[in-house]
Amino acid sequence: MDNAVASVYDELRRLARAEARRARDAVLQPTALVHETYLRLRAQRSGGWSDQASFLAVAARVMRRVLVDEARSASRLRRGGDRERESDHETRIAVQDEQFEVIEVSDVLDRLAASSERQARIAELFVFGGLSIDQVAAALELAPRTVDRHWRFARAWLVRELRISARGSSNPSREGAAE
């Protein structure tokens, strides 16, 4: 795996820098995000990728977990989970030029996955991995046009659900996600 990481380290850094630009008040700087991702990938030891595209797809999923874990940790601190408050900001991420909390985006992606695993996976690769249409297509072994079509639908669904959630609706719409 070290060879795989070494060969895509620059790409991981690019993804982490893109993530840092999308995330407002990021808890982790790009280098820390890459290193934490690397450590978690190394701990998995199972690989699960056959080429650079599939490695980046796995790395995007791990980056999502890292960001969500860090956001939850910061949230606990804000609520007094630790006597010394280290942070008083929210970790946010951009979806279609709007900022949403990382945890909220992750939760909405999980709801989308219940209806359409493919659309949720595509959205995760775009939102948390910062991959291009061609990279997502290669990682998921889909045609770029298929990825584009699913991404357009998933992005619109995500933004709608995130807006509903932000308004505090207790019964957000969960219909509409389909393969």
| 31, part of any domain | yes
| 151, part of any domain | yes
Total of domains in the chain: 1
Residue with tokens 């949720």: 120
- Tell me the pLDDT tens digit for each residue of 131-173: 889 999 998 999 999 999 999 999 999 999 998 888 874 444 4
Q: Looking at residue 89, what is its pLDDT?
A: 41
Q: What are phi and psi of 170, to 5 degrees?
A: -85, -10
SS3 readout for 41-76: HHHHCCCCCCCHHHHHHHHHHHHHHHHHHHHHHHHH
| 53, part of any domain | yes
| 56, part of any domain | yes
| 175, part of any domain | no
| 174, part of any domain | no
| 79, part of any domain | yes
pTM exceeding the 0.75 threshold for the entire prediction:
no
Range of the domain at 117: 2-166
Q: Please tell me the distance from the alpha carbon of residue 118 to that of residue 123, in angstroms, as a whole number.
A: 9
Checking if the pLDDT of 24 tops 60, the result is no
| 176, part of any domain | no
Question: pLDDT band for position 102 (50/70/90)?
Answer: confident
Checking if the pLDDT of 93 tops 70, the result is no
Summary mean pLDDT of the chain? 76
Q: Looking at residue 91, what is its pLDDT?
A: 61
